Structure 1
Amino acid sequence: MQPMPDYSLSVSEQLKSLTVSGALQIDAAQIHVAKCLDRVLSGLKRRLPAAKASALGWLFANKKKPSEAVKGLYIHGSVGRGKTMLMDMFFAMAPCAKKRRAHFHEFMTDVHNRIAAHRLKLKQGKTKQADPIPIVAAALYDEAELLCFDEFTVTDIADAMILSRLFSELFRRGCLLVATSNVEPDNLYRDGLNRSLFLPFVDLLKQYVEIVTLDSPTDYRMEKLDSQPVYLTPINERTDMAMEASWTQALHGRKAQPLAIPMKGRSIHVPLAADRIARFSFADLCEKPLGPADFLAISKRFDAIFLEHVPLLGPDKRNQIKRFIILIDTLYDHGVRLYVSAAAMPENLLTHAGGTEDFEFHRTVSRLFEMRSAEYLALHHERRAAE
């Protein structure tokens, strides 16, 4: 049984104890963000008694005194600066009976599934409520009054078009949002289709969360790099043989064969799989019309993924680049071990500069490096052992 979190602690205190022990370096930028997270923790603790007296008491009180409402937090900064670590600390300490920590893509997949289910009920005559957003928002808030998103990013037009209405409903009910991102709010969905329709969400976000920058001078992910034979480059006969050898070793004599993962009336084709390992080419996953929900299903089904022949990514491959970014995000978030053969090292895969893809790809590069580290591989074993 997991020990209960000590709600009397603060993020600042835990960060300080780790620096005193030598587990972390003293980092002024992280300390500043920790204090901002402590403000949110204090606000959550202040509203606990009202929540016990009346489930809606604090909500009505906030309507009378908007200035007393607890504001969330939006932490943005470069990759590898410790945003996820601080979010982990905060989430463990948050004194909420109902809280949810999710990757943004995973959360939005859930939202779209709920919207689709409501529309089906409407079509079947099981509800008269034509607008699914209030119903979905109410259900989400009933499950979690605190939402924590790691790596908040908006690249999909379907997500962009509903975020303002969805979070208007969530914030109105009292939902608190804490998020990390590589992107400051004004750059969310940058260069996206019909971005003017998305901008009301940015204004809404600024109203309900404090914006803070984490500008640590050190990329801690790069410091963790402990080269493992799991990223092979360039693509040639030698690396193909090395990938084959790693695949054979992972099989341990088992026979690999194709399989299909059921997915809402269709299926995701897996070229080769054995138990909880699978082998794909870049074309299998990134040149087909797959999305976040498909990658999530793959990450939950397999512990290790072999991904072959990642090419150089030029401006003619914008859709493939977007899928590759989401794929790596999802595998990383679920601790999946990744073996890759690619045309170049991660930082050289993207052959053009500028635009949303270039901006988002910096995170992908960092994650591809970290997924080779001893720390990530150890975390992979811990996560999978716990499942």
Structure 2
Amino acid sequence: MTDRLSDRNPQVAPQTLIDEMVPPASFDGVSFDTYIPDPQHPSQAQAVATCRDFVARAAKVRAGKRNLLGRKQTTNGIGVYLDGGFGVGKTHLLTSVYNAMPEPKSFATFVELTHVVGALGFSKAVDELGDRSVLCIDEFELDDPGDTMLVSRMLSELTARGVSIAATSNTLPGQLGEGRFAAQDFLREIRKLGSLFETIRVDGPDYRHRDLPPAPAPTSDEELREIAESTPGATLDDFDALCEHLGKLHPSKYKQLVAGVTLVCLSDVHAADNQSVALRLVVLADRLYDAGIPVVVSGGKLDEIFTDEMLAGGYRKKYLRATSRLLALSRFADSSDS
């Protein structure tokens, strides 16, 4: 019988969340040299140069200064912020920064970082990360006032301890939170966050869809079952059952939920019923993409999971990113079968 994700209930120790703050395996071996800038978009080459300079300056911060007695003095960390659309290589550049910096160092998505704080507590999380040469934050986002205050305070404390911060996002620092809560009420905190970073724009088309055909059409339920049963390590879930199960798990467990899975098969896919379900699917899509796990579905198309109403709201960029990644994973599955 094929395994189901909805039968899994992974347990994750808080310290494990710290230990797992590394780039996704799909980015193993990347560097500035392996990033190929698109000559039609000069900002990409400029972003590489800026990130190289950031590494050089952050390394000097890490080394620290010496006072007249020869004692090391803590220097505030510096920040760089890569803003751009989906699939222009921001995570590649962020991972290149991580790989070029000395240990200890940490890498996490914004959501994973908030999970670490929730699991360890604020003070413990700051202490754990306070000795890092760099903290790399992928997909920086602020979805509510609590996150705004939390991240602002955390990054301020970390940079004061000499931790440099590198981040990526699809939203400029001054616009974080727009459309999701009353940003004007927290403008001071948002501006404080923005002041930590040197912002670099990275332009270009989404490489995941560059010269590629449309996403594969959904399979029949019978074919989906046959694919799952013939693929070692595959899982097969009813879409609604999986969505219900995701609601019972803290999102920090989604990485372990899909650990060891080679293929995710979902039957009777349709548009998410509400925003809460949709946001959980976003986190799941990120974990699947990080692990490079292909996705095959029956029912609806993967680009129809998020409704027009959702795409018109404050989480638009998050939903578009998830759609982009799910389509890439569905193409990967389709090419593996051919």
Secondary structure of the corresponding residue to residue 179 of structure 1: strand
Q: Which has the larger radius of gyration?
A: 1
Do the aligned partners of residues 207 and 323 (structure 1) sit closer, same or farther apart at CA in structure 2, a change above 3 Å counting?
A: same
Instruction: State the AA in 2 paired with 1:304.
Output: L
- Number of residue equivalences: 302
> How large is the RMSD of aligned CA atoms in angstroms?
3.3
Query: What does residue range 32-71 of structure 1 map to in structure 2 within 5 Å?
Result: 32-50=46-64, 57-59=72-74, 62=75, 69=76, 71=78
Number of the residue aligned with 1:91: 98
Q: CA deviation at 1:278?
A: 2.5
Secondary structure of the corresponding residue to residue 300 of structure 1: coil
Equivalent of 2:123 in 124, 134, 139: 134
Check whether the contact 2:138–2:169 (CA below 8 A) recurs between aligned residues.
yes
Structure 1 residue 79 and structure 2 residue 86: aligned? yes
Number of the residue aligned with 1:172: 160
Report the Cα distance in structure 1 between the residues aligned to 2:274 and 2:70, rounded to whole angstroms: 50
Number of the residue aligned with 2:307: 350
Report the Cα distance in structure 2 between the residues aligned to 1:134 and 1:55, rounded to whole angstroms: 30
Check whether the contact 1:77–1:183 (CA below 8 A) recurs between aligned residues.
yes
Q: CA deviation at 1:312?
A: 2.3
Q: Deviations over 1:304-337 (max 9, x none)?
A: 3222222124xx6111111111110121122223
Do the aligned partners of residues 375 and 32 (structure 1) sit closer, same or farther apart at CA in structure 2, a change above 3 Å counting?
A: farther
Where structure 2 has 5 or more consecutive residues not aligned to the other structure, the ranges are: 1-30
Instruction: State the AA in 1 paired with 2:130.
Output: Y
Report the Cα distance in structure 2 between the residues aligned to 1:46 and 1:98, rounded to whole angstroms: 15
Number of the residue aligned with 1:249: 230
Number of the residue aligned with 2:11: none
Report the Cα distance in structure 2 between the residues aligned to 1:56 and 1:97, rounded to whole angstroms: 21
Q: Deviations over 1:35-87 (max 9, x none)?
A: 2112211202333543799998241xx3xxxxxx5521111111011212222
What is the percentage of aligned positions where both structures have the same residue? 24
Secondary structure of the corresponding residue to residue 361 of structure 1: helix
Secondary structure of the corresponding residue to residue 220 of structure 2: helix
Report the Cα distance in structure 2 between the residues aligned to 1:150 and 1:157, rounded to whole angstroms: 20
Number of the residue aligned with 1:257: none
Q: CA deviation at 1:148?
A: 0.7
Do the aligned partners of residues 98 and 223 (structure 1) sit closer, same or farther apart at CA in structure 2, a change above 3 Å counting?
A: same
Secondary structure of the corresponding residue to residue 47 of structure 1: helix
Secondary structure of the corresponding residue to residue 318 of structure 2: helix
Report the Cα distance in structure 1 between the residues aligned to 2:220 and 2:124, rounded to whole angstroms: 52
Number of the residue aligned with 2:318: 360
Q: Deviations over 1:328-358 (max 9, x none)?
A: 0121122223223341351675232411232
Query: What does residue range 273-312 of structure 1 map to in structure 2 within 5 Å?
Result: 276-287=233-244, 288-300=247-259, 302-312=261-271
Where structure 1 has 5 or more consecutive residues not aligned to the other structure, the ranges are: 1-9, 63-68, 116-132, 252-275, 379-387
- Larger mean CA deviation between 291-300 and 79-88 belongs to 291-300
Equivalent of 2:117 in 73, 87, 111: 111
Do the aligned partners of residues 200 and 296 (structure 1) sit closer, same or farther apart at CA in structure 2, a change above 3 Å counting?
A: farther
Check whether the contact 1:278–1:302 (CA below 8 A) recurs between aligned residues.
yes
Check whether the contact 1:150–1:181 (CA below 8 A) recurs between aligned residues.
yes
The TM-score, its normalising length taken from structure 2, stands at: 0.76
Check whether the contact 1:224–1:373 (CA below 8 A) recurs between aligned residues.
no
Q: Deviations over 1:201-258 (max 9, x none)?
A: 4222222111121122x32111274778xx543xxxx62122111112115xxxxxxx
Equivalent of 1:30 in 44, 48, 54: 44
Report the Cα distance in structure 2 between the residues aligned to 1:159 and 1:184, rounded to whole angstroms: 16
Report the Cα distance in structure 1 between the residues aligned to 2:105 and 2:333, rounded to whole angstroms: 27
- Larger mean CA deviation between 170-179 and 340-349 belongs to 340-349
Secondary structure of the corresponding residue to residue 330 of structure 2: coil
Do the aligned partners of residues 55 and 198 (structure 1) sit closer, same or farther apart at CA in structure 2, a change above 3 Å counting?
A: farther
Secondary structure of the corresponding residue to residue 126 of structure 2: helix
Secondary structure of the corresponding residue to residue 76 of structure 1: strand
